[in-house]
């Protein structure tokens, strides 16, 4: 571990009671393409680094994105004023968080972790010429039971005790799988504003937590040889389902198309992506319908027909259940 003496300390807010929002005029042109319309943001630029922090409050989730470029060796000082659990996704590069002179944990590129963070400052050295994109979803531990009641899939993960010191909740880091990557990209590219953005991003946050919980639970089960052998098949199936959310397939039909048994196809898909095929089809279908609702040239009947729903009523019922809000709130 390199000494952090004589390096510039840079406060990095990872949670804040009062969110800072600056007008677009204060943001350099090269950073404007990174802006999420529904997010408040804070930007700082000096001789040591550029930091763009964006925040979206979609209770009970608090979503933060940090885009950081270090021009010199610096020390980031992540700070939260109160106790949080933070589901963290690391992109573009890797960092090492410190505790005193000891290595506490690595923040590796393309890995995700759930942290139990006590209030106060943390220390993360960052070398010159490094650039990172960090995304994390915070929840106040007081809301964990409420979250579990809404999303029972999270019970095993969120029922774990909170140690008195900041710590890693999962036993080991997890790779950011394609489903989690898709969800984070949908958040980063979200052009909705107001209630439309709130309900869409809140569900993406919930799906990221659910996906992480299933991935964490799956670490106890060894990968089947067939899952490894047919990895290309599952990736091709994943890409097909993303590109064709308007097509309705049964598991036996997909198994026939990909020359596998239904059990083998579903188990392999779930091992790679921490979600069942049926759940993933439903997720992409809901996202498609949500997007079509905001096309002013389409009626509800048009949206239902495009999404292959049996009726407008069925579509509305499924959308309201998935996004946990009324159709009027979505629009």
pLDDT number for residue 2: 46
Residues of the chain with pLDDT under 70: 1-6, 19-24, 98-104, 220, 222-228
Instruction: Report which of 3, 122, 125 is spatially closest to residue 73, judged by C-alpha positions.
Output: 125
The CA distance from 37 to 51, in Å, is 18
Predicted confidence (pLDDT) per residue in 232-288, tens digit: 999 999 999 999 999 989 999 999 999 999 999 999 999 999 999 999 999 999 999
Taking residue 314's Cβ as centre, other Cβ atoms within 10 Å add up to 12
pLDDT number for residue 100: 46
pLDDT number for residue 296: 80
pLDDT number for residue 5: 47
Name, in order, each residue with C-beta under 8 angstroms of 233's C-beta and a sequence gap of 6 or more.
Answer: 258, 260, 268
Domain layout of the chain by residue ranges: 8-174, 221-330
Shared fold status for 8-174 and 221-330 = no
Select the CATH number that applies to the domain covering 221-330 from these four: 1.10.645.10, 1.10.10.60, 2.40.30.10, 3.40.50.800.
1.10.10.60
pLDDT number for residue 58: 94
Superfamily of segment(s) 8-174: Jelly Rolls (2.60.120.10)
| Global pTM value | 0.93
Name, in order, each residue with C-beta under 8 angstroms of 137's C-beta and a sequence gap of 6 or more.
Answer: 61, 62, 63, 64, 86, 87, 205, 208, 209
pLDDT number for residue 20: 59
Question: Residue 291: phi, psi to the nearest 5?
Answer: -65, -40
């Amino acid at each position: 571990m390199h000494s952090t003496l004589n390096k510039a300390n840079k406060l990095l807010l990872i949670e804040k009671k009062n969110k800072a929002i600056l007008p677009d005029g204060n943001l350099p042109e090269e950073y404007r393409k990174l802006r999420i319309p529904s997010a408040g943001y804070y930007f700082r630029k000096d001789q040591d680094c550029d930091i763009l922090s964006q925040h979206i409050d979609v209770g009970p989730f608090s979503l933060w994105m940090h885009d950081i470029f270090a021009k010199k060796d610096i020390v980031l000082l992540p700070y939260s004023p109160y106790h949080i659990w933070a589901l963290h996704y690391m992109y573009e590069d890797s960092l090492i968080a410190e505790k005193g002179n000891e290595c506490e944990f690595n923040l590796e590129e393309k890995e995700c972790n759930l942290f139990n963070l006590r209030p106060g400052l943390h220390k993360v050295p960052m070398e010159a010429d490094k650039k990172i994109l960090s995304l994390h979803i915070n929840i106040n531990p007081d809301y964990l039971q409420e979250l579990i009641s809404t999303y029972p899939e999270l019970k095993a993960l969120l029922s774990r005790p909170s140690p008195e010191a900041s710590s890693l909740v999962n036993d080991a880091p997890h790779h950011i799988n394609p489903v989690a990557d898709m969800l984070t990209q949908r958040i980063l590219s979200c052009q909705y504003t107001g209630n439309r953005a709130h309900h869409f991003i809140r569900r993406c946050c919930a799906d990221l937590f659910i996906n992480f919980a299933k991935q964490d639970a799956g670490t106890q089960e060894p990968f089947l040889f067939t899952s490894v052998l047919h990895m290309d098949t599952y990736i091709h199936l994943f890409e097909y389902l993303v590109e064709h959310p308007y097509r309705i397939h049964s598991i036996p039909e997909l198994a026939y198309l990909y020359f596998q048994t239904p059990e083998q196809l579903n188990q392999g898909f779930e091992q790679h992506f921490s979600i069942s095929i049926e759940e993933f089809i439903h997720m992409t279908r809901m996202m498609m319908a949500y997007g079509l609702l905001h096309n002013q040239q389409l009626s509800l009947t048009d949206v239902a027909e495009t999404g292959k729903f049996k009726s407008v009523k069925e579509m509305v019922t499924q959308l309201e259940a998935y996004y946990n809000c009324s159709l009027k709130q979505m629009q």
